[in-house]
């Protein structure tokens, strides 16, 4: 039963990734694209955690933690670029 639930949720998160990719391509403003990138990295964290549960290996947490750290830093850098026109002044 757990395998079925994991496959179903895998499909749902793939749909979520496609929807945020659509917003990333279509987004009318720059802030929309930053928001779509933010959603994409959170969705990929969920996908990696699901993969770890499916394979039964705890090695995937380090990858998820790294993606969380670097995703926040990239969102902060992009917002800083929009606000100030420069990342490190």
Partner 1 sequence: MNWTELAISFFVLLGGLFMLIGSIGLARLPDFYMRLHAPTKATTLGVGSLLIASMLFFSIKNSMFSIHEVLITIFLFITAPVSAHMMAKAALHVDTQTLERTQGSEAHQAATARKSTPSEADLANKQEGSES
Contact criterion met (CB below 8 Å) for 79 and 37: no
- From the list 22, 62, 24, 23, the residue with the least C-alpha distance to 45 is 62
Contact criterion met (CB below 8 Å) for 28 and 1: no
Residues 14-73 binding partner 1 (CB under 8 A) are 15-17, 19-20, 22-23, 28-32, 34-36, 38-39, 42-43, 45-46, 49-50, 52-53, 56, 58, 61, 64-65, 68-69, 72
Instruction: Say whether residue 9 binds partner 1 (CB under 8 A).
Output: yes
- From the list 74, 85, 79, 69, the residue with the least C-alpha distance to 30 is 79
Contact criterion met (CB below 8 Å) for 43 and 13: yes
Q: Contact positions toward partner 1, by CB under 8 A?
A: 1-2, 5-6, 8-9, 12-13, 15-17, 19-20, 22-23, 28-32, 34-36, 38-39, 42-43, 45-46, 49-50, 52-53, 56, 58, 61, 64-65, 68-69, 72, 75-76, 78-80, 82-83
């Amino acid at each position: 039963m757990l395998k079925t639930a994991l496959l179903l949720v895998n499909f749902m998160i793939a749909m979520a990734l496609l929807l945020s990719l659509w917003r990333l391509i279509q987004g009318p403003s720059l802030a929309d694209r930053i928001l779509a990138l933010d959603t994409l990295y959170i969705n990929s964290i969920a996908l990696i955690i699901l993969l770890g549960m499916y394979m039964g290996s705890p090695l995937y947490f380090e990858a998820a933690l790294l993606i969380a750290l670097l995703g926040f830093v990239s969102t902060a850098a992009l917002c800083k670029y929009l606000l100030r026109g420069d990342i490190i002044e």
